[in-house]
Structure 1
């Protein structure tokens, strides 16, 4: 049997630090310390050649349980629906109106951070309600 490996989720984006800091707020993640020898990330970035400054950023679960998120700058913009997306589990174990109220409250918090509400997928015979959203660069995710 294969052992479980650590993994990270990588996002292509235009502004890695901005998107990383958004996801830190969404998930309660933290920005890791600046690389050894640098007091701040700003100091580290100033040490790089101009074309590499701000080309990547990361955030991590402070408890060490969730995957690391890595954000890398790419020249092209997003043009199609994500093939993979994150599900932000805000309503786990809740059903009906209680679930919907919890999702709506979290949706309002995320919209205040810059997310966009796309649509509500109402509960049906197989699934509870969830809200489809986009992050600050248009990457889809589900609030469920």
Structure 2
């Protein structure tokens, strides 16, 4: 039996981080709860302390995992033990692959990501990748 998964991020600003990851992955916010025309309208109905306590990103085609963002009081304090690999250059190799990764890196930096380091191709084990951080410092790789 297979199971669906949801990837959950602890963060300080769930709405902003979900919008960032929606742009990265080509995902979208799920529809607002029934009876509300928008997430902003729903948020305004909540007590102030509950506003922006959670958000999500979902694959519009329904294939990829849902990504959930929950507000926590503590900040990030160490390197992630698990991270996402964003497949930005599947099937590409060598200079063509690294050029595609660099182009995606530039796009994500413009959205608020930080470039950490580039790893050159090292056959036979590594095709090359770029390590990045999202706006809250969570590491991920462009692969």
TM-score, normalization by structure 2: 0.97
Partner deviation per Cα, 1:16-39 (whole Å, 9 max, x = no partner) = 000000000001001111101111
Deviation of the 1:46 alpha carbon: 1.2
Distance of 1:96 and 1:123 partners within structure 2? 7
Deviation of the 1:59 alpha carbon: 1.0
Map 1:1-144 onto structure 2 (within 5 A).
Answer: 3-125=1-123, 126-144=125-143
Distance of 2:38 and 2:103 partners within structure 1? 34
User: Which consecutive residues of structure 2, in runs of 5 or more, have no partner in the other structure?
Assistant: none
Distance of 1:56 and 1:79 partners within structure 2? 20
Partner deviation per Cα, 1:62-98 (whole Å, 9 max, x = no partner) = 0000000000000000000001110000111111000
SS of the residue corresponding to residue 23 of structure 1 reads helix
Distance of 1:83 and 1:111 partners within structure 2? 23
Distance of 2:81 and 2:35 partners within structure 1? 38
SS of the residue corresponding to residue 73 of structure 2 reads coil
Distance of 2:74 and 2:119 partners within structure 1? 30
Distance of 2:35 and 2:81 partners within structure 1? 38
Distance of 1:93 and 1:68 partners within structure 2? 25
Deviation of the 1:123 alpha carbon: 1.2
Deviation of the 1:14 alpha carbon: 0.2
SS of the residue corresponding to residue 101 of structure 1 reads helix
